[in-house]
Structure 1
Amino acid sequence: MKWIMRILGLVVLVAVLVVVGVLMLPADKIAQIAGDQLRKVTGRDVTISGDVSMTFWPVLGVTAGGLEVGNASWAKDGAMLSTSNAAIGVDASALLRGEIRITNIEAQSPTIRLESRKDGRASWEFTDATGAAQIETETSPARPAKAVTIQKLKITDATLIYDAEGSDLVSYQGVDLALDWPDANGAADIAAALRPARDKVNIDARIDNFGSFLNGTVQPLRAKITTKGGELSLQGRGSLEGAVAGAFALQTGNTATFLAQLGAGAVELPKGLGQSLNVTADLTLTPDRRLALRDLVADLGGNTLRGGVDVALNGVPQINAQLNAGALDLRSLTEGGEGGGSSAGAGWPKDRIDASGLAAFNGTIALNASSIDLGALSLGPTRTVLRNDRSRMVFELREVNAYDGKLAGEFVMNNRNGLSVGGKLQALGVQMQPLLSDLADLSRFRGQGNASLSFLGVGQSVDAIMRSLSGEGSLKVGRGAIEGIDLDALLGSFDVEGGTTVFDSLNASYAIKGGVLRNSDLLMLLPNFNAAGAGEINLGVQTLDYTVTPKALRVNGDRGLAVPVRIYGPWADPKIRPDLKAAVDLNFQKEKEEAKAKVEAKVQQKIEKELGVKVEDGQSIEEAVKDGIEDKLKKELLSIFD
């Protein structure tokens, strides 16, 4: 709207100066007078070129072949206004009554170049020698200024250039602008067409009491911006200084297309987080570009948010929001491509994760949700705070119900120098089967307990992140079960095909490096057994190689009976095999040693009898045989010389 008002002000100034004193004067004299007056008012060089013609009644009309108004002395380059085929019409009868009523203004292919500096200077602010822009006429300066109205304005194929110090150059070409203001005390309809990108963006507005609006008062207004991807509308009140308040609505079928048509460039938004939009709110915008949205309802293409938002719009948007949501689906932030996720045995998705949306804003968002799906984790009723600072987003979990227990901690996504994800989580009283199933696709373990986890992964896909994971954690579970193996049956018959092992408690700690989880201190207690465990789970390639060693406490005398079981292969379909050799080594070591001693004694007796070799104390049979053979060889060699 400021652009439109600046253009209107400039055109009105030109129009008034051109028509002053034109009655009964030749056309070339009119051009000279108009140029001199405009030069005095603006302090700028003014050139009126080409043929100048006019009509007198009922419309006082002036047509000029070309018009150029120079820029401020401090501006970098180019005239502030240049146009060809300019036409201005003034109601002659109204002019005789002392009113300046412009019936029409037309300009073809004008170029308007506006510049501003951080110290407040603006090229569209004109000053004469006295410091105030004035129009020189032959009338007394004490006489009140005459009201100026424009009934119709038509500008076609304009080029708008705005150069603000410290900001990127803004340039629009092919701009069309039309104003319809038939009643000086009534409403004005404004229609504009811009092309920030390839396709046309239409702007339509209606402002009540347009004359008062131009004088700076707040007036009722309606406005709509329509693009190929969607439309934005506002119905409320506003002023020329940039203060706006009213009912706001935004609908996009394709938000990326909508933003691209507005000149925002290529923007990719995650699924469910703005690919399409249906937003309504009560809007307040202040002249210093601070936006407040109240009673907000935002459908983000699957996720719906309600609440209030404050946004500072200078530079990267700074957001402070209090929002409520129902079931919130954030899987698109951690999964690559459509329907990302992993299927059992198929590996992790390798599609590239687009996390560019993390750079779209900075700020803090407090969120209450009935549930949150993060892809790797599924949360129940949740109270969380999201903080985003230069592409580093932190989910602080303050009050989270999940897996029949409670979760606390934080989940971090960082896209400053490539994507990384990490976090620190504490779980209290959670069900392990759904938790481990979500985190690592492991569904054989059941039980309720406590767990801690800290982790960090780096990569542009889920597969890369899982292969790079590092961290540590611990697990403490009460009564539970392991499906797929029956340790009771194992110790009774060495049959481990299927079944379920029920345990009383389980404790373990682990470390993760290079996507491989390693554990060496698992201890599981059963009614008549205990079991130790050690091994590794390769999270990156979804395999495991883990040995559980259950021990029956009430057999084999006081020594018990232990049977190691190796679980290995892809975790979607692992192999489970008892290690019988290790079982014998663990359980019958004494018997093995006794049997070995008996065998060695018999061998020793045989050797002494057959070879005549005496095995001394502390000497092995092999050494005794070797010594005996050496002695015999010596004797045989010495006998040669006898």
Structure 2
Amino acid sequence: LRAGKVKLNKTTAQDIYVKVSGKNGVFNLNPITAKLYKGNISGKAAINVKKNVPQSSIKLKLNDVECEPLVKDVLEKDIIKGDLTAKVALSMLGDAAEKIKKTLNGKGEFSVNSGAIKGIDLVAMVRNTDGAYGFAGTGSQKPETGFSELNVPFTITNGLFKTSDTRMVSTLLRVAVSGKANLLNKRIKFRIKPVVVTTSKTDKRKMKRSEVKVPVIVYGTLSSPKFRPDLRAVAKDKLEKEVFESKKFKKVFKKKKYAPYEDAAKSLLKGLLDGKE
């Protein structure tokens, strides 16, 4: 099969070529190639219709695809820009959207180079500046976090997307991200942990005063994400460093009669900071 241009919803692909073969209720699409947003896509797929519920699998590679127009057309959101490279292997059951989401399984990895995440300014957040969390009033310039590299390995289990080792590199920050997104109800919960790598003395002084390593929690829905500082994590870190490691605390539990209660005291104090989000 060949097609010069195909538009699915708002997503447009060009120069499409798919070789189709089938036998005994199993159809193979191999290879699949196309041009997609100034990049290219290649892969293969299989569809098994022997049973009442179709079984499908697909493996795709994307190279040098422009993120910004792709995400705008697929998600109708202006949230990221850069050049996308990806490898994805997925399997699913059914031919209806909800059934496919519920049975979607697989893994993959995507990387975006020389780009930016729109709607959040992590640099401003770690500097603790006005507007970092959306409190600076209405301005014409949308906040964004520029990066040289964003790498996202992920798994999907029955429609639940998880990542535990996402990394982002910028001139000022190294960022680690972990969390999950439910593709069924669109709920998300991610934790962003920044590490400052700036060589600027001014930045280092500012950030030291404003607790630069405050993690950021991203929650809400895919369509309306919200951001807040993870103050509980900051409090736990301060508790560890300023209480448990303090001379007074250590002096108390050096005494023979109090030593057996040191772990219990630590657990009690930590427990005061625990609870539901």
- Give the counterpart of 2:127 among 492, 507, 519: 492
Cα distance change, pair 527–561 in 1 and its aligned pair in 2 (3 A) = same
Cα distance change, pair 443–515 in 1 and its aligned pair in 2 (3 A) = farther
| Aligned residue number for residue 175 of structure 2 | 531
The 5 A counterparts of 1:52-67 are none
Contact 1:442–1:571 under 8 Å retained in 2: no
Contact 1:551–1:563 under 8 Å retained in 2: no
Cα distance change, pair 619–553 in 1 and its aligned pair in 2 (3 A) = same
Separation (CA, whole Å) in 2 of partners of 1:441 and 1:391: 36
TM-score by length of 2: 0.76
| Aligned residue number for residue 271 of structure 2 | none
Contact 1:561–1:587 under 8 Å retained in 2: no
Amino acid at match of 1:598: K
Cα distance change, pair 506–540 in 1 and its aligned pair in 2 (3 A) = same
| Aligned residue number for residue 188 of structure 2 | 544
Separation (CA, whole Å) in 1 of partners of 2:9 and 2:25: 20
Aligned length: 244
Task: Give 1:384 shift.
Answer: 2.2
| Aligned residue number for residue 267 of structure 2 | none
Matched, 1:389 2:26: no
Amino acid at match of 2:99: A
Task: Give 1:387 shift.
Answer: 2.5
| Aligned residue number for residue 566 of structure 1 | 217
The 5 A counterparts of 1:445-456 are 445-456=80-91
Matched, 1:598 2:248: yes
Amino acid at match of 2:171: P
Separation (CA, whole Å) in 2 of partners of 1:529 and 1:404: 29
| Aligned residue number for residue 256 of structure 2 | 616
Cα distance change, pair 576–553 in 1 and its aligned pair in 2 (3 A) = same
Q: Which runs of 4+ in 1 moved over 4 A?
A: 374-377, 436-443, 586-589, 620-623
The 5 A counterparts of 1:280-359 are none
The 5 A counterparts of 1:110-121 are none
Matched, 1:400 2:37: no
Contact 1:454–1:473 under 8 Å retained in 2: yes
| Aligned residue number for residue 420 of structure 1 | 55
| Aligned residue number for residue 230 of structure 2 | 579
Task: Give 1:622 shift.
Answer: 7.6
Task: Give 1:396 shift.
Answer: 3.0
Superimposed CA distance per residue, residues 299-319 of structure 1 (whole angstroms, 9 cap, x where no aligned partner): xxxxxxxxxxxxxxxxxxxxx
Structure 1 gap segments, 5+ residues each? 1-366, 606-613, 624-642
Query: What is the aligned-residue identity percentage?
Result: 25
Superimposed CA distance per residue, residues 460-482 of structure 1 (whole angstroms, 9 cap, x where no aligned partner): 41111012100110112211111
- Give the counterpart of 2:155 among 511, 526, 531: 511
Separation (CA, whole Å) in 2 of partners of 1:514 and 1:565: 27
Task: Give 1:391 shift.
Answer: 4.5
Task: Give 1:488 shift.
Answer: 1.1
Superimposed CA distance per residue, residues 198-217 of structure 1 (whole angstroms, 9 cap, x where no aligned partner): xxxxxxxxxxxxxxxxxxxx
Q: Secondary structure at the match of 1:582?
A: helix
| Aligned residue number for residue 217 of structure 1 | none
Superimposed CA distance per residue, residues 121-145 of structure 1 (whole angstroms, 9 cap, x where no aligned partner): xxxxxxxxxxxxxxxxxxxxxxxxx
Separation (CA, whole Å) in 1 of partners of 2:10 and 2:50: 22
The 5 A counterparts of 1:198-237 are none
Superimposed CA distance per residue, residues 57-96 of structure 1 (whole angstroms, 9 cap, x where no aligned partner): xxxxxxxxxxxxxxxxxxxxxxxxxxxxxxxxxxxxxxxx
Q: Secondary structure at the match of 1:485?
A: coil
TM-score by length of 1: 0.35
| Aligned residue number for residue 115 of structure 2 | 480
Separation (CA, whole Å) in 1 of partners of 2:153 and 2:244: 35
Superimposed CA distance per residue, residues 195-254 of structure 1 (whole angstroms, 9 cap, x where no aligned partner): xxxxxxxxxxxxxxxxxxxxxxxxxxxxxxxxxxxxxxxxxxxxxxxxxxxxxxxxxxxx
| Aligned residue number for residue 111 of structure 1 | none
Cα distance change, pair 541–376 in 1 and its aligned pair in 2 (3 A) = farther
| Aligned residue number for residue 266 of structure 2 | none
Amino acid at match of 1:386: V
Separation (CA, whole Å) in 2 of partners of 1:518 and 1:403: 26
Cα distance change, pair 399–469 in 1 and its aligned pair in 2 (3 A) = closer
Amino acid at match of 1:487: L
Separation (CA, whole Å) in 2 of partners of 1:600 and 1:517: 44
Matched, 1:457 2:92: yes
Superimposed CA distance per residue, residues 87-133 of structure 1 (whole angstroms, 9 cap, x where no aligned partner): xxxxxxxxxxxxxxxxxxxxxxxxxxxxxxxxxxxxxxxxxxxxxxx
> Which has the higher Rg, Structure 1 or Structure 2?
1
> Relative CO higher for 1 or 2, CA cutoff 8 Å, sep ≥ 6?
2
Contact 1:487–1:496 under 8 Å retained in 2: no
Separation (CA, whole Å) in 1 of partners of 2:100 and 2:236: 41
Contact 2:128–2:212 under 8 Å retained in 1: no
Q: Secondary structure at the match of 2:120?
A: coil
Superposition RMSD on alpha carbons, in Å? 3.1
Superimposed CA distance per residue, residues 449-501 of structure 1 (whole angstroms, 9 cap, x where no aligned partner): 31000111112411110121001101122111111211011011263226211
Q: Secondary structure at the match of 2:180?
A: strand
Contact 2:244–2:250 under 8 Å retained in 1: no
Separation (CA, whole Å) in 2 of partners of 1:547 and 1:499: 19
Contact 1:425–1:454 under 8 Å retained in 2: yes
Q: Secondary structure at the match of 2:133?
A: coil
Separation (CA, whole Å) in 1 of partners of 2:218 and 2:170: 19
Structure 2 gap segments, 5+ residues each? 135-141, 199-203, 264-277
Contact 1:562–1:587 under 8 Å retained in 2: no
Contact 1:382–1:397 under 8 Å retained in 2: no
Q: Secondary structure at the match of 1:451?
A: strand
Task: Give 1:537 shift.
Answer: 1.4
Matched, 1:429 2:64: yes
Separation (CA, whole Å) in 2 of partners of 1:442 and 1:420: 30
Separation (CA, whole Å) in 1 of partners of 2:27 and 2:73: 22
Separation (CA, whole Å) in 2 of partners of 1:434 and 1:421: 27
The 5 A counterparts of 1:361-376 are 367-374=1-8
| Aligned residue number for residue 19 of structure 1 | none
Cα distance change, pair 552–479 in 1 and its aligned pair in 2 (3 A) = same
